[in-house]
Structure 1
């Protein structure tokens, strides 16, 4: 049995969970926020999510896990067979990560503490996000899926990237970021209403009290970052 380690407040965790559900792969969930040496044996840098495969191998990093699942469980494929089309899907994923999600993630510490980010940080993030908005406006097709006629890994990945961008990023910048990409918000709503997405969201809601308790304890400890 595959084990998915982490917590459902993590958008990266939910990417992997969505892929597992989409591919109808049996798995169990192990709730963990952080840990000591035992956790580092599973996730070498202590990041969420991590996956223990059915043969006992431990994997971390979301895209690594997703590629493993795609290659090991090829049923219901999430990448095109054509190499160029696969690269186009991965390009959308990488740009959304580097130019939307990671810049918006800089605001998480401020959001958890209920504060606004300093103006220089906001200016830096806005500059990077503007580049991502421009790139994705050119690359995303929404016809009806983000990379064309078939659902791909990019649809799942970008939907959960948008969770951070559309809440933390937009709130801190007072700017509806997703509305700047033609078709993005409409596509996002369609995917949000899918049965698997609703199941993943139900897990996130159920996990929220435990996650908030962890965050409050984390802040009280005086640590400087949250994964």
Structure 2
């Protein structure tokens, strides 16, 4: 059985979990937080998520894990057959990560500490997000899925990228970023209504108190140092 290492408050953990559930692969979860010695045994840089296969093979980085699962368990495909269409799916995923998720992630420390990010940081984040908005407006179809008629890895990936954008960028910048892409909010809401997404969300909510306690203890330890 596959073991999924990490914690349910992580959006990257949740997108891998969604893939496992969608492909109906048996797996167990191992609750572990980033940077711990336990996680370093299965993830070279101590990042969440990581998986261990039944054969004892360890793998980290969510996009790499997702591609591994797709290649190893192809019976429920999450990529189109056409090479060009697969490339479009991966392009959407990469742009969402680089120009939506990563800039929004810069604002996480300020939200968790209950403070406002400096205006210089906010402006840098806005500039990168604007590039993402422009690119995704050109690429996303929402007909009915993000890349067209087929449900793909990009639907899962962008849905969990959007959790970071909505929770951190939108609140710190007072800007409804998803509304800048026609069809994005409606598609995102629809994604959240699936049985798999609701299962993942329930587990995320259950993990949040423990995650916040972990964050608090980490901040206290840093202040002591």
Structure 1 distance, partners of 2:30, 2:38, is 13
Q: State the partner residue of 2:58.
A: 58
Deviation, 1:87, is: 0.3
Q: State the partner residue of 2:167.
A: 167
Q: TM-score, normalization: structure 1?
A: 0.96
Structure 1 distance, partners of 2:57, 2:200, is 24
SS state at 2:29 partner: strand
| Structure 2 stretches lacking a partner, 5+ long | none
Q: State the partner residue of 2:31.
A: 31
SS state at 1:24 partner: coil
Deviation, 1:143, is: 0.1
SS state at 1:51 partner: strand
SS state at 2:41 partner: helix
Q: State the partner residue of 1:214.
A: 214
| Structure 1 stretches lacking a partner, 5+ long | none
Deviation, 1:34, is: 3.5
Structure 1 distance, partners of 2:90, 2:35, is 31
Structure 2 distance, partners of 1:28, 1:219, is 30
Structure 2 distance, partners of 1:36, 1:65, is 20
Residues 143-200 of structure 1 deviation map (CA, whole Å, 9 limit, x = unaligned): 0000000100000000000000011010010000000001000000000000000000
Size of the aligned set, in residue pairs, is 223
Residues 78-102 of structure 1 deviation map (CA, whole Å, 9 limit, x = unaligned): 0001100000000000000000100
1:155 aligns with 2:155: yes
SS state at 1:5 partner: strand
Q: Which moved more, 1:82-91 or 1:203-212?
A: 203-212
Q: How does 1:1-227 map to 2 (within 5 A)?
A: 1-34=1-34, 36-222=36-222
Deviation, 1:221, is: 1.6
Deviation, 1:41, is: 2.2
Q: TM-score, normalization: structure 2?
A: 0.97
Structure 1 distance, partners of 2:76, 2:142, is 20
SS state at 1:222 partner: helix
Structure 1 distance, partners of 2:14, 2:175, is 25
SS state at 2:75 partner: coil
Deviation, 1:39, is: 2.5
TM superposition outliers: structure 1 runs of 4+ over 3 Å? 34-38
